[in-house]
Amino acid sequence: MALKINRRAVLRGIAGATVALPWLECMVPTRAAAQTIPRRYAILFAGQALGGDNYAKNSSRVDGQNITEGGHYIADTSYGRGYALTTPLMPLQGMENDFSMISNLAIPFNQSSTDGSAVPSAGAYRDFHGGGSSPLLSGTRSTSPSYVCNGITSDQVIADLNDGQTTHKSLVVRAQPSFYVSGYSFAGRQYISYGAGGGSGARIEAQASPEVAYRSLFQGFVPDDDDAAARFDFELRSRRSVLDLVLEKRAKLMSNIGRADEQRLERHFDEIRDLETRISALPPITSGVCFVPPDPGADPPIGGDHDGGGSGSVTPGSGYSDEHARSRIFADLIHMAFVCDLTRSASLQITAFQSHMNVRPIADGLGTLPGTTRPARWASVGGDLHEVGHNGDPNNRGQIPSAGLLGWHISHYAYLIDKLRNTPEGGGNALDNSVVVFTAEAGHGLQLNDGSSQNQTHSVENMVMLVAGRAGGLNPGAHVDGGRQHPARVLVRAMQAAGYTGNSLGEVNGTVDF
């Protein structure tokens, strides 16, 4: 059911009253006319590295055969425009002029000391995985192995910038719903968005249920049909009455409790109040391209745990919750949330930091290796995502298996970009007014932990970011040498394109030009 938003629909329920048609007709066009097309910002995250341990950029092992062959490492290509797409970039075929690739980025770390107090500005604590997250996403140094960003992340800078302009301040979603390793849980690996100041108190919990995310975004739309609109109105009023009833209990519950308890419950009530505000907000401005997307239905079931090891223990049914479908649904939701101006900031964590997602179902779906005659070489990639990078599968290692899985992540990025660029907006398309960043968790190079091993996944060197869109005058299409600059400088440039007027993120100042 794809309900079109009907501007003429009778809208009741604002402040509990029935609002008559003339009011709407006078208000809505005014608001629409006054509005310039907003700029949006999204960041998509892959919980894997760019290559495989101990394998150089042109080196792989597939089906037990060692292969020396270039073009599989993501940035193993010439600079400038018209560069050859590498294996992970294949999903972006035909979109070469819609995104830029900035490679050779590096996060600084202290070569001579592993002490938390010795980490340089915007640098990484010498322990991967946790040490890399804060500088990558918030431009702020990490001082411990914990997965925590110590400053605000780029998506939330843009969210703050647009606060109050849209129904949802930001859309923070995650496709991988479970950590999957027997006996363990995420422990911070599930956060890529942090509010002002960073730290564990500022982490923003991602919505991991596509079903709930859909409902949260699109329940505010008024159906076309008059009867359906009236039923919707009844439901909206009852939802608000229910939330009001809960909110009215606030003062009484808060009386006579301790400060620590009060603080926890205040946060809960604040979130309910925000929900109440969102559902009371005017439905979004309609246009021919903004409509309620099809209901994705119930979420795919959540997969069970495995031992976090190599190929054999990761069995069908464990470690996979159809992240493919979940990512696609979230990309659909981000697209429509942008087009309908429900939010201007989004983050999608496709896989968690140090992701132990079972890659077998994905490898099976990758088909033949692009650009070669070798058939179905992906299908033999086994194990979980983390272990593929660390050579957990004895027969499939190095760049080709990693490139295939990185390409799977990028396929969701390509899917979102393609949807945006095929959505007419103003004189162009929605991608003209958007910035969409893709980053992986790690690069491929000098190991962060020991500071000496080369061609390692636990590396904050040779990092790559993709930036799509033309918002703010971006002119995408090139492969740019980042010259070992900090990846957060790419984020600053992307944020500026989305309307940010500052010139820094955390401890990182300035931009990489692209």
Partner 1 sequence: MLWRYFALSACVCLAACTGKISQSGGGNPGGPPAVDPILAVESGVRRLSQAELDNTLSDLLGEDTAPASRLLNEDEFRPFDNDYTIQQASDALITSLEALAEEVAERAVGDAARRSALVPCTPTSPGDAGCFREFLNGFLPRALRRAVTAEDVESYMPLLDFATEDNAVVNNDFYTAVKLAVSATLQDPEFLYRVERGSPGSTPGLLELDGYEIASRMSYLLWATMPDDALFAAAASGTLNTAEGRRAEAARLLEDPRARTQLHRFHAMWLGYRSIPHTAELVDAFNRETSALIDRVILEEPGSYLRLFTMGETFVDDALADHYGLPRPTDGEGWVSYEGTGRAGILGHGSLLAAFSKFEDTSPTQRGILVRTRFMCEEVPRPPPDIDTDQPPQGAMDAVCKYDRYAEHRDQSSSCAGCHSLVDPIGFGLENFDVAGRYREHDDGLPECIIEGTGEIVGVGDFSSPAELSQLLVDNQYVDACAVQQFLTYAWGRPPSVYEEELLAEMTGSLRDGAHDFKAFMLGFLGSDRFARRVEERF
Query: Nearest to residue 463, comparing CAs of 447, 436, 449, 442?
Result: 442
CB within 8 Å of 305: residues ≥ 6 apart: 178, 180, 181, 182, 183, 318, 319
**Minimum distance from residue 54 beta carbon to partner 1 (Å):** 9
State residue 426 phi and psi, 5-degree precision.
Answer: 55, -135
Nearer to partner 1, 8 or 374 (CB): 8
What is the rounded distance in angstroms from the CA atom of residue 256 to the CA atom of residue 177? 38
State residue 320 phi and psi, 5-degree precision.
Answer: -145, 130
**Minimum distance from residue 384 beta carbon to partner 1 (Å):** 11
**Minimum distance from residue 469 beta carbon to partner 1 (Å):** 25
What is the rounded distance in angstroms from the CA atom of residue 465 to the CA atom of residue 440? 8
**Minimum distance from residue 294 beta carbon to partner 1 (Å):** 18
**Minimum distance from residue 368 beta carbon to partner 1 (Å):** 28
Nearer to partner 1, 87 or 462 (CB): 462
Nearer to partner 1, 259 or 473 (CB): 259
Nearer to partner 1, 315 or 372 (CB): 315
**Minimum distance from residue 45 beta carbon to partner 1 (Å):** 16
Distances (CA, A) of 12 to 24, 225, 236, 239, 300: 10, 14, 9, 13, 35
Under DSSP, the state recorded for 44 is E
Helices marked H in 281-373 — which ranges?
A: 323-339, 360-364
Nearer to partner 1, 162 or 313 (CB): 313
Q: And the tokens for 253?
A: 């519950």
Nearer to partner 1, 85 or 217 (CB): 217
Render the burial of 23-34: b for 16+ CB within 10 Å, e for the rest. Answer: ebeeebeeeeee
| Residue at token pair 């992240």 | 323
Q: And the tokens for 139?
A: 């431009």
Q: And the tokens for 283?
A: 């439905």
Q: Which residues pair with 203 in a beta bridge?
A: 194
Integer-rounded Cα Rg, in Å, for the chain is 23
Q: Which residues pair with 428 in a beta bridge?
A: 425
**Minimum distance from residue 216 beta carbon to partner 1 (Å):** 5
Nearer to partner 1, 12 or 40 (CB): 12
Nearer to partner 1, 172 or 359 (CB): 172
**Minimum distance from residue 286 beta carbon to partner 1 (Å):** 22
- What is the amino acid identity at position 455? N
